[in-house]
Each structure stands twice: as C-alpha cells, then as structure tokens.
Structure 1
Amino acid sequence: MRATLTAVIAAIEAGAIALEVFVVIAIPGVLLWWLTFDLSGEPSQVGFGVAGVWMLAHLIPLTFSLTPESALSFGLEPQSLNFVISLAPLTLTFLTATLAFRSGWRFGQRGGVGVAAPLGGAAGYAIAGAAVAWLASPVLAAPMWAAIMVPTLWFGVWSALGFVARSVSSGHEWWRSTVRQVQRAFERVSPLGAASLPSRSWEMARLSAAGFAALMGLGALGLVAAIVVGYVQIVALGQGLQLDLLAIVLVFLFQLAVLPIAWVWSVTWLTGAGFAIGTGTSVTPFDTLLGPLPSLPLLGAIPQGWGSAGALAPTLVVLAGVMVGGLAGGRRNLRSEPILWAILVPVLAAACAGLAVTGLSALASGAAGPGRLAEVGPAPWIAGGLAAAELGVGMLCGVFVRRVDHSRWTEALPVLRRGEGESQAETQNARPVTPLVFARSEESAAAQSPSTDSLTELDTMPIPDFPGPRIDERLRSHAAEAETHVDNVAETLPEGDVAGEGGTSPSEVSAETEVSAETEVSTETEVSTETDEESILRAYSWENGPKNLESSTPSVSASRWRIWMRKG
C-alpha cells in the first residue's frame, strides 16, 4: 500500500514538472503572440509552437517548412524549404533533468518503499508527454511512440539517479545488500580485491567527478574569456539586427536557452577536438574555418585559431588533470594502493569523465537550420576520447607525484642532506662492528683485555658462523691451533724466563692451555645442546663478559695474551 501511494504521488509530481517546463516556454510565446501579432491568428498555432519547443527540449527533432517569401526574409534563396531542427535548447533540457533528479532524491529517503517513485514518476511523465506530443504533432519529425518514449526515459533516468544517490548517501539496506552481492561475485576472480572493491569504486567516482568538474570549470572560464574578447563583434551583430525591445528580449531568452551549447563547445575546443557550425567548417585551437553564419550575437564570441600555439589549450586540460590527481593522490586510500590499482583508478576515472563529455557533445550537436546548418556541433566520440586521454595523463602524473615518499629518498641519498665530503669522511672514519658469536667461559671472560694495537692479528681471523650442528668440530680446531701456537712461542722464550723465579715452565703453560681449551670446549658443547635461539642470546649477552666491544675477543686466544704479557 505504501509503495502504491508513493508511486501515485511521484506520478502527480512528474506531471507538475512537465507542466512547469511547458509554462516556462509558453510565457514568452504568448507575449510574442500578443505584442507582435496582436492576438491575431489561431490559438492552436501558438499551442503547437510551444509544444514543439517542449518536445525539442526533450530531444525530439522538429520539421519546418518555409515559403519563398519567408525564406527571403531570413536571407535565404526565395524558394520553398523543408528542414529539420534537432539542436535542443539545453537550458530547458537540463532544467527537466534537475527537477527529475530532485524528485528522485526526495523519494530516496523512504528507503526500499521509495523505489516505486521512479517508476510512478516515469508513468506520470509519459502521460504528460503524450498530451504535449498530440499538440505538437504537426511539427514532429519523429513517430508518436518515440515522442512519448524519449521524454519519459529522460525523466525516468534522472529520477532513478537521484533515488540511487540518496540511497548511497544514506546507506540504505537494499544498497548494502547489492554491494555485498557484487562482492561475492567478484570473490571468484580476486578474493582480496573484493574486500576493497567499495572503497576503490568510491575513490574512482570521486576522482571522475572532480576531473569532470575541473574540465567544465575550465570550459566556463574559456567561454567567459571568449565573450570578453569578442565583445565588440557581439555588439556589432546585435546592432545589425535592428530589433525592437520585444525582439531584443526574445533574442536574449533564446541565447540564454542555447548558452549551455556554447559551454560544451568551449570544452570541446579546449580538448582540441573543436566543433563545426555548418558543413565543411571547423573551429579548433589550431585553425578556424567558417562560412556564412546566422546573425546571432552570441556567435561573435567564436575564437580565432592560435596556429602553432594551439597546443596550449590541450595542455591546460592536462594541467587540470594534474591538479585533480595531485589533490586526490594525497589521500591515504590512494597512496596506500598497489601500483596496479594506482594506475587503474585514475584511468577508469578519466574514462568515465570522457564518457560524460561524449554525452554532452552529442546533446550539443545536431541540425540548426536549412542547407549548411544541417551539421552543427562537435564530433562526440572524438571530443570524449581526447578529453579522457588528456585528463588521464594529467591524473596519472598527479597521483604518482604524490605517491613519491620524499623522506625515503632523502634517507636513501645522504648527499641530499649533507655535503659529499662530509659523507665520505664519515664513511672512512666509520669502523664496522661485527658481533663475535663465541660462548665464553668465566676464566676467559675475566682475562685482561689487550690494547687496540695488538688486535691486528685477531682482526684478520675468520669469524665463525652462528652456533650450529658443527660447533664441536670448529671449537676443537681452534683449540688445537691455539695449543700449537703456544708451543711455538714457548720454544722461542729464553731459558730464564721459562723456568726461573716467578717464571712458568713450558709444560705448565701447555697444561694451562689444555685446561683452558678443555674448559672452553666443554662449555661450548653444553651451549650447543641448547636451541639456536638460546645460543644466540647467550652469545650476545653482556652479563658474562666485558662491555667493551674491542675487548670481546675469542676466549681460545686468552693464553697467548698471558705469554705475551710475561714475555714483555
């Protein structure tokens, strides 16, 4: 019941919107009929004229016929003419789209029940469109079913967009359920990417909207600049028409109705695609080729080509993309993305913005009169493709510039922080400290530490690996090497120093060395039974040895230092 009531209310509101647009068109039409023709003629002529403009604003082409006298008054050859006008007054077109979007937005706050609003609104607008199409039937260039269907779709699509936008912003349950279903379907391709799909989609939508807004803002500035530069030509064309007050007001309203067309043309001109005003004409930043034009004052703002400097116009679009990409690239979500998604998000956003430009270019092109004016406007796909390419390049540059971590570059390149000489001096003075992984006994740890100059021989000794399965064999080899060295040193000592007062015999030295080596071997054997982690922690412990790194020498060499001290 609530859904049915919502649909009925939406249908009534859609009919009111159609009537509102019709009245906006009818007011100047009735004034023209009253002040110019003094209410002479059939009212039905005024009715189907207003209805024809309403249908043209909803993208339905109209057909017109001119008598030889009427053609001569328009500056054409005195002959009967039949031609089609399909260039829509986009101000009225966008007015309908705005009102439809607002209607869908309001009904979107009702949650799942509000889904009936776009359907009901489309039905109500179809009824109103059928009535207007019946009034405009003498001038319609399309079949009746198309005259009803196209306005209905135009209203229904924008109403549905407004409803979805409100549901997304409010986080309705049906929207969250839809997102979860899409994620489950995407899990078959990439389970990890499915979790981040909503955030990446939202980031792409934000970047696309920002890029499109930047491009349209650039086009608005270009249009204002063209009007300012061509102000003299605009005034000259207006004065050449020699219009009275009512005609001046009507011409102003007509130019206001087609002002969005000039805005879209400005955007396509900046992208380099340009536009045409008649068959065989071209208006681009590089060259301007025109033929005879209607005496419409707004056409005096058409810019001249810049020649070789025309590349500056597409460069502005690229710079706009760089600005948008730089602002978006500073966000944490986009900076932390993998490199593949950091490329895909700006590219897809630029593609969406290019599709929007393509749609606007299609709306701003068509037939505007007889003869050469049958082809007016930009080429939609060329304009959209160039806009997507230029925005995409700019966005990629902006995003990747913000992804560069300058602090990491500074740390990786010390020359950027200090002079090259200072860096070299620090490198030369720095002495690498290599940890010695030896398990020391209490006797060797208590031995006297040698001086720095006497460590030359020890520094050249190979440093063993971390304790492992072969630690016993390595320790035995080191003990045997120490014992051999002690015997050689004892043979070179004088006899008085070996066996005398206060001296030590070689046999005692050998015995002491053997005891020390055996103690160390037994200690290391005990350590080897421990796990690797415990052995490493024991080796690096500060409790069983001196805290000076230079005195942390291998314990198997303690006896040779005693002999050296006694010899000295």
Structure 2
Amino acid sequence: MNRLGTAVLAAIEAVVTVGVGIGIALVPLTLLWGFEYGLQVDWDVFWKATGSVWLVGHGVDVSFVLGSALARSSGVSGATDPIHVTLAALGFALVTAWLAGRAGRRFAETEHRTTGLLVGTGVVAVLGLLVALSSRSAATVPTLWQAIVLPALWFGIPALVTSEVCRRRRGLPADPVTGRVLDQLDRVPTAWRAIAAFGLRAGTAATAAVVAVAGVVVAFLLFASFAEVISLYERSHAGVVGGIALTVGQLAFLPDFVGWATSWLVGPGFAIGTGSSVSPIGTTLGPIPGLPVFGALPASGHAFGLVWVLVPVVAGFASGGLLRPRLVQALGSANSALHRALGGVAAGIVAGVLTGLVAWLSAGSFGPGRLADVGPHALVVGAFAALEVGVPAVVALAAGSDLVRMPERGWAREQWHETDDDPADADAEAAADGSLLAALDRAGAGRTTDVHRFVVEETHGSTTADAARADDALTDGGRADGAHGG
C-alpha cells in the first residue's frame, strides 16, 4: 500500500473510532428523544448532550450551567454556579483505545506506518474539535484545547504501542525514532537494564492482578446488592428507554468503579463527596446521587476489611518470586543480593506509578457542592501501592532459591552420541570376535550404508559409589564372557 492509501486507511479508522464512541451515547439518547419526549424537543439538544458525554468520557472538562429554576429546586449548594465535571467516563476512552489498538496493527502491515499514525491521530484531533464546537451552548461549555488533545492521545498512544509490538514480533526493523531510543537504551549498563526490565514486568503484573481482583469485587458487590440496585431503578421512574440510557451511562463509568475498588484494596479507599470515605476500615457517606449502581456501596466497614489489603501484598510477592529466575539470568555475573533488592524496589515504583495513574484517571468532580471531590487520592494510593508491592517483592527476591523450578529427571537420563567409524576399524573389531554375526559382518551382508555407532550413557540417579560398583561388575562380567568365548 502506498503512502496515500495508508493515509486514507488511517482517516477511515479514525472516523470509525470516533463514530462508534459517539454512537454508543447517541443511540439511547435518540430513542429517549423519540419515545419519551415524542419528538417535541429539538434533537440538537440530545446531540449536544451526546457530544458532551463523549468528551467527558475522554477526560475533557465540561462546564454545565443549570437554569435558575432547576438550580433552586435541586436544593444543592452551589447549583447556581457553573458545574465543572472532570470525572472521566472511562468506558468511552477504553473503546477508543481498543479500536486504536486494532488500527495500529493494521498500520504495522504497511510500509508507511508513521504516516498512518500521524494521519489517524490528526483526524481524531480534528473530530474532537468539531464535536466540542457543535456541543457548545449556553448550558454546556467544553474546554476546546482538551477536546483536541485528549481524544487524540487516547487514539495515538495505543496505536503506536500496538504497531511497534507487531513490528517487533515480525522481526521488522524499527523506525528511526524508535531506533534512536533503542540505541540509547543499549548504552545503559546491562545490570541496570535488567533491573529496569524486571521492575516493569513485575510491577505491571502485580498491578494487573490487583485491578483484576478489583473487577471481581465490583461484580460481586453488584450481584450481592441486586435488590437495592433494582429498587433505585424503580425510584428513578426513568421508564424503559430512560432505564436503558441510565444503564449505558453507568456502564461508561464502570472502569471508574473498578479504579475505586483498586484504591479500596490498596487501603486508602475513595470518596464520594467532600468529607466522605469508603475504605476497608470503615465507610462514611453523606448525601450521594441516586444512581442505582451506588446501591452496591458497603453501608459500613467490615470486621475483616483489612484482610483485603493482603491482595497487593500477595501480588507483589508472587510477581517477584515468579519472575526471579528471569532477573537472575539477565543479571548473569552481576547477580547479587543488592541488585535483586533494587529489582524489587523498581517493581514497587512501577506498581505505585501505575496504581496512582489508575486512581488519578478515576477521580475528579462529578457535580456541584460536595460532589466536586469524588474518587481516590492518586498520590496516597500510589504511595501505599509502592510499599505494598515493593517490600514483598524484595523479600521474594531475597530468597536463596527460585520459587519455581523445573523438575529434573535424575532417575532416567540418556545421552546419545553419534560417531562415524571407519569401516576398516569396524572390520578389525569384528575379526577379533568369532561369532556368527561377526562373520556375516566381515562378508558385508546387509551393509548398504556407512556404519554409525551410537553410544548410550544412562544415569539412574545412583550415587557415585553405586556407579563405581556397577562399572566394576560390568568389567568383570565382560572378562568372564571373553574367557568363555575363548
């Protein structure tokens, strides 16, 4: 595919990516416009709401201004002022990142990968600007520069990573920029590169394990609180179509809830409003929005809540122990207790950064007044995660032997060595033997190929003394046989 074809393909991929994300929000809102409002309201209102939701889903700050009558009837302090929503509905961002990853794999198959990445990212930036401009009104004001940058980053970074991974797996040469980065990394001493690589692997694995457990916890809480969730749905009086739209909105925030559960497992927990706290130690809640999903929140602390803090501890110890052989092999002659300890520290730092990033992405402002503080505190969560993963990883790496070792088959081990013998030597050896087989061998019966001798060395896990006694027995037996044959 030539450069122009790659650019066209990238533009199509970008349009489809943005279209899918917008369609997820636009379809239920359009159904709501048709069935609940009977087409009596301008559709432009629902388009602006769709654009605002899509922008919020990528982390774009959007300011909402409620009407004076609605603000007074809400009874919420600060409702008359502009409401800044900064809590990202990460479901839309994950959809963009997933589709961008698929596009990146296609870009890797072309000869003009850089062109595809630049064009695709640029088109997403332009579309983000168009969505922001079309969503502006007296009631909604998105931040324009964020609308240009943030959706483009959610597309460009996953596309770049997946395309580079695909090229490396296929053995294709790196592009000039990546090549320069790799050249700079090659200048770093081998020991430090091994420590950094171990930290990235172990820290990422531990963080992924904690996030996976957090997802299971969220699913379990929703299942266990099913009755309360349904009760909140009934109190909302949203109807069928409104319930569908409400469900889609809550699904868009599902990654945020997993991020909150991750912070809960780490220990500091999260807040739903200023002065509130949800942690393994206890739960303190004030007035919260009547979203059905909030019915799954624990009403109070659990007697064994701190046991859940063992999840990141076990994840850190397991990742350090399972990846210890790889670190030892990479260090080679530089393997020492100090270098292994530094590997554990690196794993803790990586886990702290990644967990803090998850907490930061799932925090922000969700409404007026006390709802301006929602989600976990990124720095506190990251610091706790670094300690809870790093210290167990150091302990696992300080172990004297690997936690996982492949079993050795000492009871039956055979080694085959093939040697090419000279036919003259074989005939001379056969002449020394007076058996019938030797006579046939001297006559050349059945000899069609060169002679290959296989020497089998078999070990049965016996001790050295047993092996010596076995060799003496074989030697004596051979001498007896020779005497008998003579």
The interval holding the TM-score normalised by the smaller chain is: 0.7 to 0.9
CA distance in 2, matches of 1:87, 1:177: 38
Map residues 234-313 of structure 1 onto 2, 5 A cutoff.
Answer: 234-306=229-301, 309-313=304-308
Deviates more, 1:93-102 or 1:313-322: 313-322
CA distance in 1, matches of 2:286, 2:403: 55
Aligned residue number for residue 132 of structure 1: 131
Aligned residue number for residue 370 of structure 2: 372
Query: What amino acid is the match of 2:213?
Result: L
**Aligned-pair identity (%):** 29
Contact 1:285 1:305 in 2 (8 A): no
**Under a length normalisation based on structure 2, what TM-score does the superposition of the two structures give?**
0.74
Contact 2:352 2:383 in 1 (8 A): yes
Query: What amino acid is the match of 2:47?
Result: G
How far 1:200 moved relative to its partner?
5.2
Map residues 356-505 of structure 1 onto 2, 5 A cutoff.
Answer: 356-401=354-399, 403=401
Aligned match for 1:341, one of 339, 342, 349: 339
Query: What amino acid is the match of 2:36?
Result: T
Contact 2:65 2:140 in 1 (8 A): no
CA distance in 2, matches of 1:28, 1:307: 38
Aligned match for 1:355, one of 353, 356, 366: 353
Aligned residue number for residue 146 of structure 2: 146
CA displacement, residues 489-517 of structure 1 (integer Å, 9 cap, x when unaligned) = xxxxxxxxxxxxxxxxxxxxxxxxxxxxx
Aligned residue number for residue 324 of structure 2: 329
Aligned match for 2:184, one of 179, 182, 202: 182
How far 1:335 moved relative to its partner?
8.7
Query: What amino acid is the match of 1:181?
Result: D
- Three-state SS of the structure 2 residue aligned to 1:56 is helix
How far 1:213 moved relative to its partner?
1.4
CA displacement, residues 425-462 of structure 1 (integer Å, 9 cap, x when unaligned) = xxxxxxxxxxxxxxxxxxxxxxxxxxxxxxxxxxxxxx
CA distance in 1, matches of 2:37, 2:88: 26
- Three-state SS of the structure 1 residue aligned to 2:219 is helix
Contact 1:62 1:140 in 2 (8 A): yes
Deviates more, 1:82-91 or 1:342-351: 342-351
Higher relative contact order (CA 8 A, sep 6+): 2
How far 1:67 moved relative to its partner?
2.8
Contact 2:77 2:369 in 1 (8 A): no
Aligned residue number for residue 53 of structure 2: 53
Q: Which consecutive unaligned segments of at least 5 residues does structure 2 have?
A: 406-486
- Three-state SS of the structure 1 residue aligned to 2:82 is strand
Query: What amino acid is the match of 2:264?
Result: W
How far 1:47 moved relative to its partner?
1.9
CA distance in 1, matches of 2:185, 2:88: 41
Contact 1:14 1:122 in 2 (8 A): yes
How far 1:234 moved relative to its partner?
2.6
Contact 1:285 1:310 in 2 (8 A): yes
Aligned residue number for residue 109 of structure 2: 109
CA distance in 1, matches of 2:78, 2:386: 46
- Structure 1 residue 70 corresponds to structure 2 residue 70: yes
Query: What amino acid is the match of 1:56?
Result: V
- Three-state SS of the structure 2 residue aligned to 1:13 is helix
Shift in alpha-carbon separation, 1:70–1:180, aligned structure 2, 3 A: closer
How far 1:72 moved relative to its partner?
6.0
- Three-state SS of the structure 2 residue aligned to 1:38 is coil
Shift in alpha-carbon separation, 1:343–1:141, aligned structure 2, 3 A: farther
How far 1:313 moved relative to its partner?
2.3
CA distance in 1, matches of 2:186, 2:46: 58
CA distance in 2, matches of 1:330, 1:246: 56
How far 1:36 moved relative to its partner?
1.1
Shift in alpha-carbon separation, 1:250–1:73, aligned structure 2, 3 A: farther
Contact 1:284 1:305 in 2 (8 A): no
Contact 1:329 1:403 in 2 (8 A): no
CA distance in 2, matches of 1:304, 1:319: 27
Contact 2:232 2:292 in 1 (8 A): yes
- Three-state SS of the structure 1 residue aligned to 2:65 is strand
CA distance in 2, matches of 1:86, 1:78: 16
Query: What amino acid is the match of 1:148?
Result: I
How far 1:247 moved relative to its partner?
2.3
CA distance in 2, matches of 1:383, 1:233: 29
Aligned residue number for residue 160 of structure 1: 160
Deviates more, 1:264-273 or 1:135-144: 135-144
Deviates more, 1:47-56 or 1:74-83: 74-83
CA displacement, residues 342-393 of structure 1 (integer Å, 9 cap, x when unaligned) = 2222322332232222222122111111211111111111112211221112
Shift in alpha-carbon separation, 1:303–1:78, aligned structure 2, 3 A: closer
Shift in alpha-carbon separation, 1:33–1:73, aligned structure 2, 3 A: farther
- Three-state SS of the structure 2 residue aligned to 1:403 is coil
Contact 1:359 1:380 in 2 (8 A): yes
Shift in alpha-carbon separation, 1:77–1:210, aligned structure 2, 3 A: closer
Aligned residue number for residue 221 of structure 1: 216
Contact 1:274 1:285 in 2 (8 A): yes
- Three-state SS of the structure 2 residue aligned to 1:84 is strand
How far 1:76 moved relative to its partner?
4.2
How far 1:164 moved relative to its partner?
2.4
Contact 2:316 2:392 in 1 (8 A): yes
CA distance in 2, matches of 1:17, 1:119: 15
Give the superposed CA RMSD: 2.9
Contact 1:84 1:141 in 2 (8 A): no
CA displacement, residues 309-328 of structure 1 (integer Å, 9 cap, x when unaligned) = 44322222201222222222
Query: What amino acid is the match of 1:365?
Result: A
Contact 1:3 1:114 in 2 (8 A): no
How far 1:178 moved relative to its partner?
4.1
CA distance in 1, matches of 2:20, 2:69: 36
Shift in alpha-carbon separation, 1:363–1:406, aligned structure 2, 3 A: closer
How far 1:39 moved relative to its partner?
0.9
How far 1:16 moved relative to its partner?
2.1
How far 1:305 moved relative to its partner?
4.8
Contact 1:335 1:402 in 2 (8 A): no
Query: What amino acid is the match of 1:82?
Result: P
- Three-state SS of the structure 1 residue aligned to 2:201 is helix
Aligned residue number for residue 314 of structure 1: 309
- Three-state SS of the structure 2 residue aligned to 1:174 is coil
- Three-state SS of the structure 1 residue aligned to 2:289 is coil
CA distance in 2, matches of 1:346, 1:168: 28
Higher helix share: 1
Shift in alpha-carbon separation, 1:201–1:109, aligned structure 2, 3 A: farther
Contact 1:220 1:263 in 2 (8 A): yes
CA distance in 2, matches of 1:270, 1:218: 9
Aligned residue number for residue 430 of structure 1: none
Query: What amino acid is the match of 2:173?
Result: E
Contact 1:69 1:78 in 2 (8 A): no
